[in-house]
Amino acid sequence: MSLTVTDGYDALADFMDDRFDTWSRKLWASDREAFADLFDAMHTPLPRYAARLTTEEAAYDVVQEAFVSLWRMRASLDPDRSLKSLLYTLVRNEALNQRRAMRRRQDRHAEYSPSRQPSPSDEVDSDALRTRMRAWIDDLPERQREAFRLSRFDDLTHDEIADVMDIAPRTVTNHVTKALQTLRDRLDDHRSTN
């Protein structure tokens, strides 16, 4: 029996698929060595992919955050879902999140252009509002608070949050929507009294 180049590629692909399946199972069991092996195997292709979505300088940060997200969600990994495609999705989402964050920072920076420098009282008001906002978030019902934080601070998608919280994606949407409405209402009340 003679082997062709295609047979070699197919054998390599099968070997890699088996490795990803093994890593997925071991990650689910919180195996740090498997996590390190996966990181080593993907340390070249993922930053290359991330660099196409963001800057080269930010690519490694994006990949690092994607791996942090993967570790956080390890207990909810679906063995039927491709770990490799999940990693690429996490990198893509993190790159998009970083771009959005950069735009928000630029927008905030534009608010304080040379024509309008923040006064000390502006900075005090901003710090006070930030403190108040943290308290309002802490006052949310537990499941709303958890869904909101995973969505806004950990940048997880609603499907990922549903996996983490073991609830339906629609329930995640409801929790986040209610949390946002509560926070908007409290902010409106705060603004009307100040």
CATH of the domain at 148: 1.10.10.10
pLDDT score at 84: 87
Q: Which residues contact 42 (CB under 8 A, 6 or more apart)?
A: 63, 87
Residues 102, 139 within the same domain: no
Burial class (CB in 10 A: 0-12, 13-18, 19+), 173: middle
Residues 45, 125 within the same domain: no
Domain that holds residue 194: 119-194
Residue 184 included in any domain: yes
> Domain tally for the chain?
2
Residue 105 included in any domain: yes
Top-ranked range on mean pLDDT: pick from 57-61, 116-120, 128-132, 174-178 = 174-178
* Cα–Cα dist 22/12, whole Å: 15
* Cα–Cα dist 97/122, whole Å: 28
**pLDDT for 126 beyond 90:** no
Residues 181, 103 within the same domain: no
- Angle between helix axes 120-139 and 142-152 (nearest 10 degrees) is 130
Residue 6 included in any domain: no
> Are 84 and 24 a contacting pair, CB within 8 Å?
no
Residues 103, 138 within the same domain: no
